[in-house]
Amino acid sequence: MRAPLSADDSMFKYHSYGLSAIPAIWLIALVVGFIVTEELPMRTDGEAIYLSRCMSCHQIDGNGIAGVFPPLNGTEWVVGDKGRLIRLMLDGMMGETEVNGVVYGGVMPPWKSFLTDEEVAAVLTYIRGAWDNDGSRVTPNEVALVRKATEGRKRPWSAEELNDSTNLGIPGSFSFLAVPPDTSANR
């Protein structure tokens, strides 16, 4: 049986820099950690959200299931007007809609009660840039502006409503120069 450890054992011997260096090492680690955290904030992973929330219907390749779930790949619904896409994501959609020449009649669930503005922006940015899509990024601020403008909405959108010029663009942004203001909160 081995004798209890003593201060003479090698694992307890101090290195040449001694104990005085330990507080300095901890201080450096904390400062570097703070600087890295400040410069590189945690980002929400849009692809991870897509894979966990959207893929079961729209499939891993974004091509959906013909006649059942519409594609997100190569469609104006995704790479077109950001405001329309944000509205669709927040409040869902029901009824018939045509996507790439195929009519779909299902229901897209609303996500506004389940996803933050950052999460909605992340997943929409992901799908607007994934596969064959080349849409611009969606920001959490754009999502917040649409969420605020449509906060009174209690039902899913129809394709007709989403394509109405009053429901295009980002309310409160510079898109008002080209698109009339959002009036969907009054519906």
Number of domains the chain is built from = 1
SS (H, E, C) the chain: CCCCCCCCCHHHCCCCCCCCHHHHHHHHHHHHHHHHHHHCCCCCCHHHHHHHHHHHHHCCCCCCECCCECCCCCCHHHHCCHHHHHHHHHHCEECCEEECCEEECCEECCCCCCCCHHHHHHHHHHHHHCCCCCCCCCCHHHHHHHHHHCCCCCCCECHHHHHCHHHCCCCCCHHHHCCCCCCHHHC
15 belongs to a structural domain: no
What is the pLDDT at residue 23?
56
Q: How far is residue 65's CA from residue 62's CA, in Å, rounded to a whole number?
A: 9
* Residue 14 belongs to some domain of the structure: no
| 58 falls within a domain | yes
- The CATH number given to whatever domain includes residue 80 is 1.10.760.10
Q: Is the pLDDT of residue 12 over 50?
A: no
pTM of the predicted structure, to 2 decimals? 0.71
Domain that holds residue 172: 46-186
Mean pLDDT throughout 165-175? 85
- Average pLDDT of the segment spanning 129-146: 97
178: in domain = yes
Q: Is residue 36 part of a domain?
A: no
Q: Residue 35 falls within a domain, yes or no?
A: no
Tens of pLDDT along 45-87?
999 999 999 999 999 999 999 999 999 999 999 999 999 999 9
The C-alpha atoms of residue 71 and residue 64 are separated, in whole angstroms, by 4
Indicate whether 123 belongs to any domain: yes
Specify which residues 93 forms β-bridges with.
108, 157
> In this structure, is residue 63 part of a structural domain?
yes
